[in-house]
Amino acid sequence: MNAADIHAAIMRDIFRPGAWVYLREFRAGTGWGANANRYLDAWAIQPWPSSGMGIVGIEIKTSRPDWMRELKGPMKRDPALRISNQFYFAAPHCMLVESEIPTECGLIEVWADGTAHITAEAPWRECLPTWPFVASLARRVAELTAHVTAP
């Protein structure tokens, strides 16, 4: 199972289009500073007040060695935690051990049949976007709009 398979499953089963805006490979900041080039595998927001307007950061893991590197570098996810109400790791079913999931994170697993399930609910944190994040989001929207409206 690769990252594209995981994205497809969680977009279909958890972060459904219309209810969520789901951005893949989203840059958490702007400029060229130390944390500016940190990419989230995905960032999702509920765009409607009636749905709670939750913000979720997602880091996809497709191999056990990649997961072990993640555990050794917990500060790597700090930018994502600052701009999301919840943060999830997403991985193939049974690749990660639930007891290894950091307390500030949750777990989404994609099963062999291709369905995605939240195995461990991420705790809710209040967050406010930073201006570098807003600038990055505006740039991403402009890029996507340019592809749609290009002559």
Q: Alpha-carbon distance 65 to 57, whole Å?
A: 21
Q: Are β-strands 116-120 and 106-110 bridged in parallel, bridged antiparallel, or unpaired?
A: antiparallel
Dihedral sign, Cα of residue 113, residue 104, residue 61, residue 31: positive
Rounded to two decimals, what is the model's pTM? 0.84
pLDDT digit string, tens, across residues 45-84: 888 878 778 899 999 999 999 999 999 988 888 878 888 9
pLDDT digit string, tens, across residues 77-132: 887 888 899 999 999 999 999 899 999 999 999 999 999 999 999 999 987 777 67
